[in-house]
Amino acid sequence: MAGPEAAPPTLDDVRRAAERIRGLVRHTPLLEAAPAREHAVIAAQLVLKLESLQVTGSFKARGACNAFAAPPSAALTQGVVTASGGNHGLAVAYAGWISGVPATIYLPTTVPADKRRKLQAWGAQVVVEGNVWDDSNAAALRHAARHGMAYLHPFADPLVIAGQGTVATEILDAAPDVDTLLVAIGGGGLISGIAVAARAMKPGIRIIGVEPTGAPTLLRSLEAGRPAVLDRIDTAAGTLAPRSTDPLNFGIIQRSVERIVLVSDMAMREAAAWLWFEHGVAAELSGAASVAALLSGRYQPAPEERVCAVVCGAGTDGWAG
């Protein structure tokens, strides 16, 4: 819940976040992808970080719980407001529920009804406004100012980024031989936190970002040398679909992410089906994006390269219908 001039977090901030959120979130498992019937060669080099098994169904619980557990601002007592494509909203609703803090979540119209119901089940007030996250976020900021509530950014708050960075510390503490991390990108909170922690722990590690072809927010920003604003969004992976990023995330990604690859919605759907068929892992499109980069050939590891793909969100895209 920091101001616009906030500095990026450090590995020490990530380690402190890990202590704050201990017992509030799950230490999710690493799963060896081999053996597998399909894409067996890829599976032999692949380990999956199953954030799809995280409380509320995604890594977002880490950042939200860290923000709520840090020394509170006066505005926190009035409640917290945020905007979300779904997963961050669930995380804030959960963190508010365990903290006794009212949470108001603004959503775009594209958020599935089941996520709206889950938000309400966690006790959040839900407001649907705007067709994309950016519109919902503008409404959330107005609401926070009008009612004196704390606003929690889903990807550009240093406390949120530090919380997401605990994904990387868990991976490298358990599997220090990992050479490459494949990470889906929406606004950039997850990959920013992972980059901060992983680069500090293992400077030579390769970090590859994955975006939908219909929402290449960070790729276009890197090409422009500054945060860019997309004219349109064309992807069913709503949690990976902001029209712009934030300078804080952009700076971290520009310094620490080797490159970004794009995957189609079909590739994400096929990867989600592979995760379900081969491993019984239920992932949404965004959760399967990192695996889609491998299965589609958008990222081709070298022989013997040890790859970890973060399965960042749960869903039924691999088996629905």
Please check whether residues 99 and 24 belong to one and the same domain. Answer: no
Number of domains in the chain: 2
Same domain membership, residue 226 and residue 78: no
Rounded alpha-carbon distances, angstroms, from residue 285 to 52, 191, 212, 250, 316: 11, 17, 10, 23, 9
The answer to whether the peptide bond before residue 35 is cis (omega within 30 degrees of 0) is yes
Domain that holds residue 121: 61-151
| Same domain membership, residue 181 and residue 298 | yes
In a domain, 146, yes or no: yes
Residues 96 and 233 in one domain: no
Based on the domain organization, do 34 and 179 belong to the same domain?
A: yes
Residue 199 shares a structural domain with residue 54: yes
The string of DSSP codes covering 149-208 is: -EE--SSS-HHHHHHHHHHHHHHHHH-TT--EEEEE-SSSHHHHHHHHHHHHH-TT-EEE
The SS3 of residue 70 is coil
DSSP, res 314: B
Of 113, 134, 151, the position where a domain reaches its end is: 151
- pLDDT of the residue at 132: 85
- Residues 187, 142 share a domain: no
Q: Which residue has the tokens 């089940």?
A: 121
**CA–CA dist 107, 89 (Å, integer):** 8
247 and 294 belong to one structural domain? yes
The answer to the question of residue 237 being in a domain is yes
Closest CA to 30 of 167, 188, 193, 161: 167
Mean pLDDT per 10-residue segment, the chain (321 residues): 75 97 97 95 96 96 94 72 90 93 92 87 92 91 92 95 98 98 97 98 98 97 96 91 93 97 98 97 97 98 97 88 45
Same domain (yes/no): 104, 166:
no
Q: For residues 50 and 113, state if they share a domain.
A: no
Q: What is the pLDDT of residue 321?
A: 45
Pair 161, 155: CB distance under 8 Å: yes
Q: Looking at residue 294, what is its pLDDT? A: 98
Based on the fold, state whether residues 87 and 167 are members of the same structural domain. no
